Chain A
Amino acid sequence: MYECIDAGSDYCPCYLAETNDCITCSHLQGKSYCDCNWRGVCIYQEYVWNGEKAKETRKSFIAKIQEKKIIGSNLIIFKISVMKTLARQLKQPGSYIFIRSIDKPEYFDTPMSIMYANDHTGEIHIAVQIIGSKTKSLLNISDEIIVRGPYWNGLLGFKNLKTLSNSNALIIARGVALAPAVLVSQYLIKNNNKVSLILDKGKIEEIFIYNYINKFNVLTIEADITSESGKILLEELLSNNRYELCYSGGSDRQHREIKKLLSNLSPSTKFVICNNKKICCGEGICGACSIKVGKKVIKSCKAQVDASYIVEKGENIR
């Protein structure tokens, strides 16, 4: 039902292991026996080898801003120089980092999806929508920014995405969620899938990702999916085409609407969504992103949960 996105990574075991809250390992949940479904090298073994403590966690560092591009009145694209290793780690769809202004304390850390990562040049691009005090504090920075990462759980249903090849996929992205749709579409194309991309600028003043998608291998359609004509467009697409996978980038309300359409018109289509939970620490510690799956409380900053389940059983969200 759920899996830790960090299991087996350089950051596993994490602090959750120290407090018997590991998402994967039954021993590290305080039980006396094995009851896991992890297919890699044993997490408990890693924990014991590491002196019964968490591996070193992600550290914040100061990165250089290569370019800051303001789009309309409420969007900034930052191009940031980072280590090539970090850029490589952030190429996976769903990757995100925490950023903040260097003159602000840690609680200004705000999670931001990766739009583009280049591991040859060591750069990452992110799109920031200016909404509240965290993002407003980024308006005036120009040379340096504090970065912490890599984090990966920015989308739910990664396994569906990972296993799709030689198939048709539909990506529907709106507003600032256009940014993470770039990595999703690149990943699907790499695996020889045909991608149709519905672009809705939402509250942003323009479609800001055209520079990041190759129009020769993606079919792009601009639409306002909240309008009546946009809805008809989606219904037409789903009725007349066979999509093995659908990715929704946008609000939880958008996820629900699209899931409804899928259930009616294309029930076998696998569903992948961007993770909209209020991610605050990214490490499963603070609890801001907790959701309830069955009887269990899951930290959605780390746990992969079935997207269809979480959208349909949305009332279980704490």
Chain B
Amino acid sequence: MTKVIVIGGGWAGCAAAVTAKKAGAEVLLIERTDMLLGLGNVGGIMRNNGRYTAAEEAILLGAGDLIKLTDKASRHVNIEFPGHKHASLYDVCKIEPMVRRYLLNMGIDIMFKTRVVDVELEDKTIKGVILNNNNVIYGDVFIETTGSTGSMGNCLKYGNGCAMCILRCPTFGPRVSISMKAGVEDILGQRGDGSYGAFSGSCKLNKDSLSKEIVKELDEKGVVVLPLPEEEINIDKLKMKVCQQYALKEYAENIILLDTGHAKLMTPFYPLEKLRKIKGLENARYEDPYSGGIGNSVRYLSIAPRENSMKVKGIKNLLCAGEKAGLFVGHTEAIVTGSLAGHNSVRIDKGIKLLELPVSLAIGDIIAYANEKIKEKDGLKMRFTFAGSIYFERMKELNLYSTDRELLRKKIERLNLINIFDEKIV
């Protein structure tokens, strides 16, 4: 049986584990913290703009397991907020145990509080991964979904220091780039001004610390928009964000809160004393990152060069997905790239031609487009998400954006890819 080792239990790693298992592999998922989903524990936005298309495509391709879970855990569906339509917001306090149970029920093995620190390499093939306790775990194919966020040195050099986010590096140890340990140099993303990395795009306020009126509106509508006083508006702040889909004027002129269980504040960080001057936020405190008044995590400092099949260039049996695989933003993007990597892991082991998704699908196109752009100098400053900015524009131009399930079904039927990820290869 093919033994697939997935390193990193965020959305991409979970998705890869699911499709590798479906394809018939024995799957071990290694996670350095005590929770799955990584930054997915503080995210929550699904199905906004082009993500709706991608979610439906994933379901039709047979990789809808995790999308269905986020649908089920949604506190709000089909809501609108500036620049974004038909969004769902999953409850960040409920999703992790749901995903954990789902994976365990599928028979996926998970090792928590276990950190991979190096690889055993032979003839450009990874034989095993070395853990922090020096034990070695051997496998046939490896999938790296360690993301690109942190560690503390990066958050300090390119941000405002460790803001104590959900990844908890001081507790569980730093992120290690597996592809780098295998001898493949990482690509570093940049900001508009050419400096490295970018801030995570939102922070979360404790809902109990907000006024009753705000909590009521969040519970009912899912969204609260609070206009900022004139002197507080800072358009330049948008440039340092990861999430270019939220780098809109409305996000500089207003405080935008979304209800994901916590109150998601759509800005990388906001000084507490300034925040507390706004009506209804007089007693506000941060839930994530704990130092959201100072800074946020810094990401995009560890991207592996890859093929459109998600295979890492230069290593025979390593695949990657999520932020490790490109300048992607978001859970949906992690899930779809992870699903492809998981499926292809079994194909690699069996010597079958690796699957590449056609560019007539939004998922296939974003994977190919992000890969093309990363080779260009200015491409390192771009971010790719179905939810907005340049890629959503491209989706609309190429007629890839649709919320019509039937239309998408027919397209995928025509491509002969219906439920491809459900098929057992071995």
Q: Please report the C-alpha to C-alpha distance between residue A43 and residue B152 in the assembled complex, in whole angstroms.
A: 9
Interface locus among A27-35, A53-61, A254-262, A281-289: A27-35
CB-CB under 8 A for A40 and B157, given A33-B186, A33-B301, A35-B177: no
**Contact between chains at B153 and A42 (CB < 8 Å):** yes
Q: How far does the Cβ of A109 sit from chain B's closest Cβ, in whole Å?
A: 33
Indicate if A167 sits at the interface (CB-CB under 8 A): no
Indicate if A141 sits at the interface (CB-CB under 8 A): no
Q: How far does the Cβ of B50 sit from chain A's closest Cβ, in whole Å?
A: 31
Q: How far does the Cβ of A41 sit from chain B's closest Cβ, in whole Å?
A: 6
Q: For chain A, give the interface size range.
A: 10 to 19
Q: Please report the C-alpha to C-alpha distance between residue A41 and residue B155 in the assembled complex, in whole angstroms.
A: 13
**Contact between chains at A34 and B154 (CB < 8 Å):** yes
Which chain B positions have C-beta within 8 A of A39? 132, 173-174
CB-CB under 8 A for A37 and B152, given A32-B188, A42-B162: no
Indicate if B9 sits at the interface (CB-CB under 8 A): no
Of chain A, the residue at the smallest CB distance from B170 is A41
Indicate if A26 sits at the interface (CB-CB under 8 A): yes
Q: Please report the C-alpha to C-alpha distance between residue A43 and residue B170 in the assembled complex, in whole angstroms.
A: 11
**Contact between chains at B302 and A45 (CB < 8 Å):** no
Q: Please report the C-alpha to C-alpha distance between residue A41 and residue B153 in the assembled complex, in whole angstroms.
A: 10
**Contact between chains at B174 and A27 (CB < 8 Å):** no
Indicate if B10 sits at the interface (CB-CB under 8 A): no
**Contact between chains at B150 and A34 (CB < 8 Å):** yes
Indicate if A70 sits at the interface (CB-CB under 8 A): no
**Contact between chains at B117 and A33 (CB < 8 Å):** no
CB-CB under 8 A for A44 and B156, given A33-B188, A33-B302, A38-B174: yes
Of chain B, the residue at the smallest CB distance from A45 is B156
Indicate if B368 sits at the interface (CB-CB under 8 A): no
Which chain B positions have C-beta within 8 A of A25? 153
**B: number of interface residues (CB 8 Å):** 24
Indicate if B180 sits at the interface (CB-CB under 8 A): yes
Q: Please report the C-alpha to C-alpha distance between residue A41 and residue B302 in the assembled complex, in whole angstroms.
A: 21
Indicate if A48 sits at the interface (CB-CB under 8 A): yes
Q: Please report the C-alpha to C-alpha distance between residue A42 and residue B151 in the assembled complex, in whole angstroms.
A: 9
CB-CB under 8 A for A36 and B162, given A27-B157, A44-B156, A44-B157: no
Which chain A positions have C-beta within 8 A of B152? 34, 41-42, 44-45
Of chain A, the residue at the smallest CB distance from B117 is A37
Q: Mark A1-39, 1 if CB is under 8 A from B, else 0.
A: 000000000000000000000000111000011111111
Q: Please report the C-alpha to C-alpha distance between residue A33 and residue B150 in the assembled complex, in whole angstroms.
A: 9
Q: How far does the Cβ of B291 sit from chain A's closest Cβ, in whole Å?
A: 13
Indicate if B161 sits at the interface (CB-CB under 8 A): yes
Which chain B positions have C-beta within 8 A of A37? 117, 132, 173-174, 176
Of chain B, the residue at the smallest CB distance from A41 is B170
Indicate if B51 sits at the interface (CB-CB under 8 A): no
Of chain A, the residue at the smallest CB distance from B177 is A35
- Interface residues in A207-241 by Cβ distance below 8 A to B read none
Which chain A positions have C-beta within 8 A of B151? 34, 36, 42
Q: How far does the Cβ of A194 sit from chain B's closest Cβ, in whole Å?
A: 24
Q: Which 5 A-B pairs have the closest CB atoms?
A: A42-B152, A44-B153, A34-B151, A39-B173, A34-B153
24 A-B contacts (beta carbon < 8 Å):
A25-B153, A27-B153, A32-B157, A32-B196, A33-B188, A33-B196, A34-B150, A34-B152, A34-B153, A34-B174, A35-B180, A36-B174, A37-B132, A39-B132, A39-B174, A40-B170, A41-B152, A42-B151, A42-B156, A42-B170, A44-B152, A44-B156, A44-B157, A48-B161
Residues of B within 8 A of A (CB): 117, 132, 150-154, 156-157, 161-162, 169-170, 173-177, 180, 186, 188, 196, 301-302
List 7 extra interface pairs beyond A45-B156, A45-B161, CB under 8 A.
Answer: A34-B151, A34-B154, A34-B175, A35-B177, A37-B117, A37-B132, A44-B152
